[in-house]
Amino acid sequence: MNGPPKVALLVETARGYGQQMLRGIIRYGRLHGPWRFYLTPGDFEQAVPRMREWGGTGIIARIETPRIAKAILDSGLPTIALDLSDKQLDTDHPLSQLSEVKSDSVGAATMAAEYLLRRGFRQFAFIGIADRVWSAKRQEGFCHAIEKAGFEVHVYHAPKSRRLRVWEREQPRLAEWLSTLPLPIAVMACNDDRGREVAEACHVAGIRIPEELALIGVDNDDLLCELADPPLSSVVLNAAGVGFRAAELLDQMMRGDEVEPRCLIAEPLSVVTRRSTDMIAIEDPDVVEALRFIHDHASEPIQVADILRQLDISRRNLELRFSHMVGRTLHAELQRIRLQRARTLLLESDLPVPKIAVASGYATPSYFIQVFRKEYGTTPSRYRRELRGDSA
């Protein structure tokens, strides 16, 4: 390969997931480049450049149409695909031989389900998008997790025809379906864009969020989440980390290394709580108050004794009721929230581990490392390196 690598990025820039993935790819290119990039800003529909004329050496692409698939295959260049469909993954399909990046859709949906279950909901619904493999996987994961907990899921069947998908036509249909749901209910939307649409349809149907319907999306697209009314809670995916790893793999392929087709996963990291789920469907007021206190003060060095002082109640009394309603002890819930915050800071910031320990509510870095290692089987520093790809 003569000169710097030239990589075509057929990745949607209009969505937070694609933007974060691009950040990871660009970070690798800066560290190991220079790399030059071809990029067409826009949504899922992309265009393949004239790779031979441009001198392209590699491609990372979401392959939405047969035309794009043919252009990529005809180029003969090292390629990593994003979220291949079941049809494209069939062994007889030529795209099945490509390395792939995909989000852990089942894992993200399971995290959303567990989050809503912890908040005490007993009625659930899922709203996806037709003909998107990741949406179908998220529906599957959400339904499995909720049904495993002993509850059923109401599933909205999105229209498949382009004419009915136009939002002006679909909105009244979705609003009518929402009005048939039992309330209060917790709803998972397949992504943040869909979550914003669900919020709009709820307003049309006269359903209050979060008082009557709690709503969560996926991708944690800051702009879309804040544009929703009220702001949308969302599952964070490690898109930047998987983008870095995808660029590392493509670099090996462009250098001519023999690389077996590989599947790289964007793992779910945590849930960012915003107003759309800011309620707890638990009837016991002491348990609700304990949960609120934990969530509001977990980043401070509080102990279980501080929770008990806040409620003026005996530990045994509260522990029994809390464990019955939430499924964990007060201490376990406090540790869970702190570790969740620590994981987010490890992956989304460059703060050193001692500062992350303090920001997550731990009295000392050594105790934080001990708790983290026990929970995840690795140290915070190694966890950060492995998921962000910094070891490259």
pLDDT tens digits, 167-206: 899 999 999 999 999 999 999 999 999 999 999 999 999 9
Residue for token digits 């590392």?
248
Select from 319, 206, 242 the least CA-distant residue to 80.
242
For domain 285-387, give the CATH number. 1.10.10.60
Q: Phi first, then psi: give them for residue 168, nearest 5 degrees.
A: -60, -30
Res 65 pLDDT > 90: no
Q: At what angle do helices 365-376 and 330-348 cross, to 10 degrees?
A: 100
pLDDT tens digits, 79-96: 999 988 888 888 889 999
Count Cβ atoms below 10 Å from residue 256 Cβ, excluding itself: 9
pTM assigned to the model: 0.74
**CATH architecture of the region 6-103+238-266:** 3-Layer(aba) Sandwich (3.40)
Structure tokens at 28: 């690798």
Which residues make up the CATH 1.10.10.60 domain(s) of the chain?
Answer: 285-387
Count Cβ atoms below 10 Å from residue 55 Cβ, excluding itself: 12
The topology under which CATH files domain 105-237+271-277 is: Rossmann fold (3.40.50)
pLDDT tens digits, 40-49: 765 545 556 6
Helix (H, G, I), strand (E, B) or coil at 311: helix
pLDDT tens digits, 267-302: 999 898 898 997 777 778 888 888 888 888 989 999
Q: What pLDDT is stored for residue 45 in this prediction?
A: 53
Q: What pLDDT is stored for residue 83 in this prediction?
A: 87
Res 124 pLDDT > 50: yes
**C-alpha to C-alpha distance for 116 and 126, rounded to whole angstroms:** 12
Distance from the first to the final alpha carbon of the chain:
20
Strand-pairing partners, residue 61, are: 10, 81
**C-alpha to C-alpha distance for 367 and 19, rounded to whole angstroms:** 35
> Average pLDDT of the chain?
89
pLDDT tens digits, 7-57: 999 888 878 889 999 999 999 999 998 999 988 765 545 556 666 677 789
Q: What pLDDT is stored for residue 340 in this prediction?
A: 82
CB-count exposure of residue 101 (10 Å: 0-12, 13-18, 19+): buried
Which residues make up the CATH 3.40.50.2300 domain(s) of the chain?
Answer: 6-103+238-266, 105-237+271-277
Q: What pLDDT is stored for residue 47 in this prediction?
A: 58
List of residues 6+ apart from 53 with CB closer than 8 A: none
